[in-house]
Structure 1
Amino acid sequence: MTTGTTKTTGQAPLIETESQFCAFFDDPRWALAIVRATVLEAAHPQIGAALADNSTFTTHPWRRLRNTFLSMRRMFDTDPAVREREAARLNRLHTRMSGSDSRGRGYDAMDRGARAWVVATLFESAVTMCRLSGQPLDQDTMERLYAEYRAFLSALDGDAGALPEGLNDFWRYYDRMVQDELENTEAARVILYRLFDHLPAPALLEGAPTLWAAGRAVVGPLLGTITVASLPDAYRRKAGLPEVPGAPALMQGAYLTAGLARFLPAGWINAEAIIETLSLRPDSDDPRARTVAALRTRIKRAAALVRLLTPVDDHAGPAQASAAGEDRRPARAFFHQVLDQTGDGYLDWPDLAAMARELATRLDLDEPEETRLYEAFAAWWRELQSALDSDGDGRVSAEEYAVGVPSLAGPALIRVAEVLFDATDKDGSGAIDADEYRTLFRTAFHRDLTTSDGAYGRSAFVGDFLSFMSGRRTNAPYDPLLADA
């Protein structure tokens, strides 16, 4: 396992004035390419096992997208201090992920070969993206782009030795990996056949489940077909992926259409703004919330029309239940919406680690605050396991949780609330002010949480957190904190 030390002395800058990689950030083609790269990553046995055990990409894909985009922005920032800090954060995150797959083979998220493959898939998918959209990169541009990706790996691992130094050697390495190392993993199958079909609505579209379901029923299979058609032939044969008539033409058309965005005026497409807008909730104090509210009104009107034409079950989600004033959701609903972060149907340590990871990301924690938060969640997991794991299988089922729900608000959960309060209270004033509140919840104070001095005290914070995490009642700011898709 590597130490994750970042070497900067004597290295060329990671970001040049005209970075080819940064030019892709706001390119619509990148959305197709990143899905393709993710499938190839998941097909690696170690990465696939780590994703299956630890990732929230199936249950909270929009949150994962937002965090990944933010991380990539930081890793390719022009300020070396920003890059080094983010590299250190990623290494701490990956150090906490290790285990065994279903065949008993060990995996380690800090494995240098696996990390190199992640970078390799991003580079190769970028090259393929340009080729499929009729704008192939010339040799010099490919070499500059490859150098940027190797520098990215160097920032994480301390050097880029796990990837070949030259571009010609890279293609031999890539072909060998596809032919000899990749497998038809569970994680790859989930992305191709489950994620698109069950993709939850982003916050913007939560109020229109019928419209979202109708659109997803059409777009989901198309995205899956396009992604499969874009994968290397050798992997498609090995994984037994279907050959759909017309799929290559559909794929080519999708990339060519996305490539037309190059004719739009500069700045018309901003991926960060799009992702942020999708994440906004109607009660947010963000100025863009007015636009979101107007969009939601139009979407609801469209949804009403779609409902008349294609009736679909329209179950209220957590946000709707809260808005309707319900004080408490059923125990099983809370289990699946909040506690089961990885979506495997059980509560175990990776679920609580995912909560700690999301909270640490929102608060942008450094050491030792980050470790303190993880340790508090680990202690809570031990308390939960002791109280709820009646069959001794090392995890908690929805049935076990429903029976033992009164046991949730123990001393360890109180400690989690206290540690989270201290991490949010950046200035150590003993109360969370408006800016600190916005950092954690991404919205302004709610009237029921403010006090006469305009701050959120420790006892009120701890009480609200315990009430929410023990499933006693819904809570407007805490629901999107851990339940948002």
Structure 2
Amino acid sequence: MDSAADLGLFGPGSVTWKVHEEPILLLGGLRSLYLQALHPRAVAGVAQNSAYRADPWGRLARTSAYVGTVIYGSTAEVERAASRIRRLHARMTATDPRTGESFRIDEPELLRWVHVAEVESFLTTARRAGLALTDDEVDRYYTEQVRAAELMGLDPATVPATAAEVADYYERMRPQLRMTRDGAETALFLTVPPVPQSWGSVPLRLGLTLGPTRWAYFGVAGTAVALLPPWARKMYGGLGWPTTDVSADLSVRGMRLLMKAALAAAPERYRSAPMRREALHRAGLA
């Protein structure tokens, strides 16, 4: 394929490009982390193998770069990035805190949980923020994202590919989910991560900071948790009331409008990620 016309896995006619054009997906990524932390083995694997506590913002940047590559990269770029992640995962193991059993990080069950939690969070956050999608487009998004799951080594036949299949998958998984010490510590870290003083924060005891950035982030984290399914909020000690969902919808819609307004006022080079601009150029849409 001519590299100049190589649109990678998806392309401008895909629902994936339509969804991931939304800057509010940053909030969807945070929601997915809260959801992933409810799987005992998945969160244990992260806690025992990741340096996210020492470099949370660096890890976020690397994860965002990988997702951006899968969505917008050329075929060669996507394959290189996925191969690097698969090799990294293949070397990692962890120990189940409850049973003492050793397990591989790239077990299909764990990869599938992370994949579904991520894509469902992206889609749900975008829709609740106001992105108009038909039911057919929702199913198409999940079907398109099976290709991303396959990159991680999953059998595509085992990956939920429609909204109904995702709902059924969550129902099957719920008996296996629970709050563990690793999950609670991860959720606390997600809610109160270290904020550099250069971001306008004031140092306090215990390594915490306070300032405008911290207060703004509290609102973001609170909205991410409120966007979780009611059963997931209950595991975090929250409420499954419909009023919580209404408040979350209002909050995320307001955030989306603010983000769009800020981007509209920003210089052109800041309105979209470099990877997306390169993909639009290859597609002749720049």
Give me the TM-score of the superposition, normalised by structure 2.
Answer: 0.77
The CA deviation at 1:173 is: 1.2
Superposed displacement of residue 96, structure 1 = 1.7
Structure 2: stretches of 5+ with no match in the other structure: 1-7, 204-208, 275-286
Q: Cα gap change, 1:107/1:254 in structure 2, threshold over 3 Å: closer, same or farther?
A: farther
- Which position in structure 2 is the counterpart of 1:153? 149
Residue aligning to 1:183: 178
Deviations 1:1-38 (A, max 9, x none): xxxxxxxxxxxx62133333334445231121110111
What is the match of residue 252 of structure 1? 249
Which residue, out of 97, 113, 118, partners 1:122? 118
Matches within 5 A, 1:269-348: 270=271, 272=273
Q: Which residue of 2 aligns with 1:20?
A: 15
Cα pair distance change 1:167/1:196, threshold 3 Å: closer
Shift in Å, 1:269: 5.2
Q: Matched residues in 2 for 1:76 and 1:127: separation? A: 14
Which residue in the other structure is 1:37 paired with? 32
1:173 has 2:169 as partner: yes
Residues 226 and 209 of structure 1: is their aligned pair in 2 closer, same or farther, counting only changes over 3 Å? closer
Change (3 A) 1:244 1:116: closer
- Corresponding residue SS for 2:94: strand
| SS of structure 2 residue aligned to 1:206 | helix
Please tell me whether residue 210 in structure 1 is matched to residue 202 in structure 2: yes
Counterpart in the other structure of 1:69:
64
Aligned to 2:43: 48
CA distance change for structure 1 residues 145 and 63 in 2, over 3 Å: closer, same or farther? same
Q: Following the alignment from structure 1 to structure 2, what is the Cα–Cα distance between the partners of residues 66 and 240?
A: 26
Q: Gapped runs of 5+ residues in structure 1? A: 1-12, 274-485
**Per-residue CA shift, 1:155-186, capped at 9, x if unaligned?**
22163132134442232112322x22222133
Name the structure 2 match of 1:111. 107
Length, aligned pairs only? 257
Higher alpha-carbon Rg: 1
The AA in structure 2 aligned to 1:156 is M
Query: Is contact 2:142–2:161 with CA below 8 Å preserved after alignment?
Result: no
Counterpart CA distance in 2 for 1:21 and 1:131 is: 13
- Deviations for 1:101-158, whole angstroms, at most 9, x for unmatched residues? 3212433211112111111112211221133223352112112211221011112216
> Counterparts of 1:47 and 1:125 in 2: how far apart (Å)?
17
Equivalent residues in 2 for 1:430-449, closer than 5 Å? none
**Residues 78 and 17 of structure 1, relative CA distance in 2, 3 Å threshold:** farther
RMSD (Å) for aligned C-alpha atoms:
3.0
In structure 2, the CA distance between the partners of 1:105 and 1:138, relative to structure 1 (3 Å rule), is farther
Are the aligned partners of 1:192 and 1:224 in contact in 2 as well (CA < 8 Å)?
no
TM-score normalised to the size of structure 1?
Answer: 0.48
Distance 2:104 2:72 in 1: 27
Q: Percent identity?
A: 23
1:228 match? 225
